[in-house]
Amino acid sequence: MMKIDLSKKVALVTGATGELGRVISSSLAVCGADVAIHYHRNRERGEALCNEIKRQGRRACVVEADVTQLASVEAMRERVESELGPPDILVNTAVIQYTWKSVLAQGLEDYEGQFRSCVLQNVVMAQVFVPAMIRKGYGRIIALNTECAMQNQPTQSAYVSGKRGMDGVLRVLAREIGEHGITVNQVAPGWMISEKDRRNGTERQEFYDKNVPLRHRGVDQDIANAVVFLASDLAQFITGAYVPVCGGNVMPAI
């Protein structure tokens, strides 16, 4: 039987206190990884997640940083390395959230914010953490994109511009560092069911569900499962991939 075993690996998850980030972090720990939990504002939620992972018998720490700023991420690296060691696995999930509007109404600051949280986050994280992976000859980088990057629906322009920009950066990065045994992939969620939906009873969204080939929304664990797979040696020959986890709602074509 094949088994995902991430023991002796250190993972750093940005945006780990978010709806998807929490499940991803816990799933990495279940598979044996030690986890650095990044947050920007919600330290209390980060501490709770850290304690949960420690109860699983894994090492964990909580780190704060602005992932769009080089100096802040460099300081985060020092804290992570001092407590857990250099990360083997980077999972970049942090993103700025805002109200979607039409191109004519969206504020320019929203486009800039998406560029910083989607494009610059991935650039800065690579510049700070990849050199240690190169020295080790091993690494896994997984970033969260979105099905929206293929849909390009009205009001999505700022969000899509950031996500399509990070797609380009990560595909180039995959080519540049692949020779060092480092893979770079993207997981693209659909509109997933999260803990918030479970609390509010909003799991079913008929207007969305009816257009999904599987006829229902996926759950947060589906995203975590894809991330854990790409972080494992089962995916050692997969790099440069954009992997939709959306029930077939978008289908990249050849």
When pLDDT is cut at 50, 70 and 90, the band that residue 88 belongs to is very high
Q: What percent of the chain has pLDDT over 70?
A: 100
Q: What is the mean pLDDT of residues 211-222?
A: 97
Three-class DSSP category at 193 = strand
The predicted structure's pLDDT at residue 97: 83
Q: Please tell me whether the overall predicted TM-score, pTM, comes out greater than 0.85 for this model.
A: yes
List all residues 6 or more positions away from 148 whose beta carbon is below 8 Å from its beta carbon.
Answer: 156, 159, 160, 163
Residue in 39, 98, 159, 242 annotated catalytic: 159
The predicted structure's pLDDT at residue 3: 87
The predicted structure's pLDDT at residue 123: 98
DSSP state of 40: S
The predicted structure's pLDDT at residue 233: 95
The predicted structure's pLDDT at residue 2: 78
When pLDDT is cut at 50, 70 and 90, the band that residue 77 belongs to is very high
Range 162-189 burial, b when 16+ CB lie within 10 A, else e? bbbbbbebbbebbeebeeeebbbbbbbb
- CB count within 10 Å of CB 79 equals 15
Tokens of 37: 């939990």
Active site residue 159: yes
The predicted structure's pLDDT at residue 178: 98
When pLDDT is cut at 50, 70 and 90, the band that residue 215 belongs to is very high
In whole angstroms, give the CA distance from residue 163 to residue 241. 14
Helix (H) or strand (E) holding 141: strand 139-144
Structural fold of domain 10-245: Rossmann fold (3.40.50)
State yes or no: pLDDT of 1 exceeds 80.
Answer: no
> Do the Cβ atoms of 235 and 229 come closer than 8 Å?
yes
In whole angstroms, give the CA distance from residue 24 to residue 30. 10
Q: What is the mean pLDDT of residues 129-141?
A: 98
The predicted structure's pLDDT at residue 102: 98
The predicted structure's pLDDT at residue 230: 98
- State which amino acid sits at residue 49: L
The predicted structure's pLDDT at residue 228: 98
3, burial (CB in 10 Å: exposed 0-12, middle 13-18, buried 19+): exposed
Segment 41-66, tens digit of pLDDT? 899 999 999 999 999 999 999 999 99
The predicted structure's pLDDT at residue 132: 98
> Do the Cβ atoms of 149 and 187 come closer than 8 Å?
no
- Residue 91 half-sphere exposure, CB side, CA atoms within 13 Å? 38
- Count of residues for the chain? 254
Q: What percent of the chain has pLDDT over 90?
A: 96
